[in-house]
Structure 1
């Protein structure tokens, strides 16, 4: 889709990767709603603050009514509790799933009719290399992102007849608050990933693989090499 003059809703746009996406969309001539739980914290020039909590369906529905001109939804909001699946706190596992899977699903369900009424458009789901790689130490987060990958594939098929493309962005460790404990030499520039993601949306790519580690994991998953 053409991003110039698009109307984008970016969840979790007040910091980290979402902030880079919002800034680059503004630079490309899009109207951008920065969808966050606390809109008073949005300080980015050129964006429209929008209250949206992906774990609160009423909040999501209200945001969809407010941003009724949306043509692009970017499901970026996410958390990682760091819980293990067996030894970890079950409430933490539920929080990962509520945000990363059900939050993405709830927001997509609310905005799909809006995008369709506006002539079609696109949805981008921000996934992870851990959609495909499932270490025990991050079992809860990996399970939620694997579920979100399945959601991405299924909704792509369901929404295609309605003129809506659905893309998944798979990426390893970006230099954001969530990866503060990861060594600097293992992290990649979120601005560069945002550029790749937006190019992928414009090209209508179903899958955007942003870095070498994620590509190796994908190849290993297909049985063509080892990660």
Structure 2
């Protein structure tokens, strides 16, 4: 599908990657861009329509889908992440539930609410923002990685089902990006604007997957190895 003349709904669009998706969609000629945000009053982006939205609240998701019923492209970007104290900490289960509620169930309920709105003529699509943590061994991010791994599996199954309606589903796999979410990490980071450009280019080229940085591409290549990176991190 093409971004030009499409109607785009981006979740988690108040900052970072989500805002970059909304801005780039507008720059590429989208007819309308909705920004799903928790606080519409604090959102000020010319030409972009803020919509009160919380992926953890089914009523909020349903109301947003009703309001933005002309959506042709859904970008599931909303997500949370934080460092885990210990893989075996008493707090890890509660933390994992919060991650799954947003990063997995949020994607599920938003996709379920919006998929019926999307056109069946090759002009509808969904982009799901995933993570290279899915294929990594990073104990202090284990609960987060598990939620993204679940979202990856859901994305692959949704793609198979929606293909019957000629709706494109693109999975974006990416490592650290230069956003507020990762400011505490001292490591190489991708530009959100560059990641968005790659993703929209892939969508418009009919691709199903984006590996947005060198580290992610290296990780993916190990999946078929005898000893992949998710077993031996040194294989990366």
Which bracket does the TM-score occupy, shorter chain normalised?
Answer: over 0.9
Indicate if the aligned counterparts of 2:177 and 2:191 stay in contact, CA closer than 8 A.
yes
1:157 aligns with 2:157: no
Query: Cα–Cα, structure 1 residues 190 and 119, in superposed 2: closer, same or farther, change >3 Å?
Result: closer
Q: Equivalents in 1 of 2:90, 2:211: separation in Å?
A: 30
1:134 deviates by 3.4
Matches within 5 A, 1:113-152: 113-116=116-119, 120-152=123-155
Cα shift readout 1:104-132 (whole Å, capped 9, x = no counterpart): 01000000001147875000000011122
1:205 aligns with 2:207: yes
Range that drifts further, 57-66 or 110-119: 110-119
**Size of the alignment, in residue pairs?**
226
| Runs of 5+ consecutive residues of structure 2 not aligned to the other structure | 229-234
Counterpart of 1:174? 177
1:86 deviates by 2.5
SS at match of 1:114: coil
Range that drifts further, 158-167 or 169-178: 158-167
* Partner residue of 1:104 out of 96, 103, 107: 107
Matches within 5 A, 1:11-30: 11-30=11-30
| Runs of 5+ consecutive residues of structure 1 not aligned to the other structure | none
* TM-score, normalization by structure 1: 0.95
1:164 deviates by 1.1
Counterpart of 1:190? 192
Cα shift readout 1:67-122 (whole Å, capped 9, x = no counterpart): 01000000000001323543251221100000000000100000000114787500
Counterpart of 1:82? 83
Counterpart of 1:9? 9
Q: Equivalents in 2 of 1:204, 1:179: separation in Å?
A: 30
Indicate if the aligned counterparts of 1:81 and 1:93 stay in contact, CA closer than 8 A.
no
Q: Equivalents in 2 of 1:18, 1:47: separation in Å?
A: 12
The CA RMSD over aligned residues, in Å, is: 1.6
SS at match of 1:8: strand
* TM-score, normalization by structure 2: 0.91
Indicate if the aligned counterparts of 1:69 and 1:118 stay in contact, CA closer than 8 A.
no
Q: Equivalents in 2 of 1:179, 1:39: separation in Å?
A: 24
Runs of 4+ in 1 over 4 A off after TM superposition: 117-120
Indicate if the aligned counterparts of 2:133 and 2:148 stay in contact, CA closer than 8 A.
yes
Counterpart of 1:60? 61
